[in-house]
């Protein structure tokens, strides 16, 4: 039986990946902070099927202990400060977790489990103000926020450790991937939440945005720049690509995305359309929510993943958005019924 260790197992990707590996017969270990594990999270439903080690990705001894205790055949490094917008306010923490945390993991593998295969989560945010479109594995990086800069550092260290110590470390340059498990502070989930509020006639939502105001206030969902565009795919599809990367004879870097571009306006139209509403009656642009610098047109060219991994996304954009909206409708209905 293969054994896998997943850092960041409590998040969206970690939970989908744990399900995938359990279904394939793996013994799955997770690493998370104890306070994150005891609260409700994306992998709560898997708690009895997982083995856990507790620690912090900013602490080298915690990472080494996790590797020694779990003795994994595969490690999936998904732990990160995962919000690009918030990285402006938490720049030092973002570098510590997303950059230095990855290096500490590679060091732990080098010293304690060098035969282990490692997947490292890079990001399309590294392309930033992209110098060409679409982006592939050879596109130059041009980051525009602290999150992306930390990811670029870790990505370069993947190649250095791979070349210098012959470690098996594969890197996935994942474009935006969403699901019904996304936390409410992510942009796509806010849109799904706004559509759910419209469907249920909620004028002032119980949940707040980053400015401390209701996400939906007086029937309006406030967003930032409505003209941004992204390559949005479904998280459940993307974790399969992670697994496929570690099944090859040699490690490499792969761009993972749908190759299809959608604007924020498209996202709003799909979300509100899923509940029979016109988004233009419910969405407004708020300058306070615009990032200091926005990435350019981020569009994946996943040809290498398609050719070498045999990977293609299965869940279409509209279906992904529909799932997210309906999950928010059910969440808000349950909340109203229980008074929580």
214 beta partners: 208
Q: Which one of 26, 76, 119, 147 is the catalytic residue?
A: 147
> Is position 123 annotated as part of the catalytic site?
yes
Q: Which one of 80, 82, 124, 125 is the catalytic residue?
A: 125
Q: Which one of 80, 87, 123, 282 is the catalytic residue?
A: 123
Which residue, among 286, 280, 267, has the nearest Cα to 228 in the 3D structure? 267
Q: What span, in angstroms and rounded, lies between the C-alpha atoms of 193 and 215? A: 8
CB-based contacts of 234, cutoff 8 Å, min separation 6: 177, 178, 179, 313, 314, 315, 319, 320
> Is position 125 annotated as part of the catalytic site?
yes
Three-class HEC string of the chain: CCEEEEECCCCHHHHHHHHHHHHCCCEEEEEECHHHHHCCCCCHHHHHHCEEEECCCCCHHHHHHHHHHHCCCEEEECCCCCCCCHHHCCHHHHHHHHHHHHHHHHHHHHHHCCCCEEEEEEEHHHHCCCCCCCECCCCCCCCCCHHHHHHHHHHHHHHHHHHHHCCEEEEEEECCEECCCCCCCCHHHHHHHHHHHHHHCCCCCCCECCCCCECEECCEEEECCCCCEECCEEHHHHHHHHHHHCCCCCCCEEEECCCCCEEHHHHHHHHHHCCCCCHHHCEEECHHHCCCCCCCCCCECCHHHHHHHCCCCCCCHHHHHHHHHHHHHHHHHHHHHHCC
Q: What span, in angstroms and rounded, lies between the C-alpha atoms of 187 and 125? A: 15
> Is position 171 annotated as part of the catalytic site?
no
- Catalytic residues, by residue number, are 123, 125, 147
């Amino acid at each position: 039986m293969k054994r896998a260790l997943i850092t960041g197992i409590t998040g969206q990707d970690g939970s989908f990946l744990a399900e995938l590996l359990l279904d394939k017969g793996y013994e799955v270990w997770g690493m998370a902070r104890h306070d994150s594990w005891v609260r409700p999270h994306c992998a709560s439903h898997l708690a009895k099927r997982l083995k856990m080690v507790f620690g912090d990705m900013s602490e080298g001894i915690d990472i080494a202990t996790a590797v020694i205790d779990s003795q994994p055949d595969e490690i999936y490094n998904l732990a990160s400060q995962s919000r690009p917008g918030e990285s402006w306010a938490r720049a030092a923490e973002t570098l510590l977790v997303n950059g230095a945390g990855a290096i500490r993991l590679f060091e732990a593998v080098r010293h304690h489990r060098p035969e282990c295969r490692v997947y490292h989560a890079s990001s399309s945010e590294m392309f930033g103000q992209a110098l060409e479109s679409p982006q592939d594995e050879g596109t130059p990086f041009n980051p525009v926020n602290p999150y992306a800069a930390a990811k670029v550092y870790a990505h370069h260290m993947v190649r250095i450790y791979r070349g210098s110590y012959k470690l098996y470390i594969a890197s996935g340059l994942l474009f935006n991937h969403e699901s019904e498990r996304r936390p409410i502070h992510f942009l796509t989930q806010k849109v799904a939440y706004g559509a759910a509020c419209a469907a249920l006639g909620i004028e002032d939502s119980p949940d707040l945005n980053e400015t401390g105001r209701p996400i939906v206030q007086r029937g309006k969902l406030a967003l930032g720049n409505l003209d941004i565009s992204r390559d949005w795919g479904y998280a459940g599809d993307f974790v399969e690509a992670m697994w496929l990367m570690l099944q090859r004879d040699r490690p490499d870097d792969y761009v993972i995305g749908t190759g299809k571009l959608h604007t924020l306006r498209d996202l709003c139209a799909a979300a509100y359309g899923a509940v029979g509403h016109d988004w233009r009656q419910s969405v407004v642009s708020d300058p306070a929510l615009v990032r200091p610098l926005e990435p350019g047109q981020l569009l994946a060219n996943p040809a290498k993943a398609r050719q070498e991994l045999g990977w293609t996304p299965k869940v279409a954009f509209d279906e992904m958005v529909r799932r997210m909206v309906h999950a928010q409708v059910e969440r808000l209905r349950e909340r109203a019924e229980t008074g929580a």
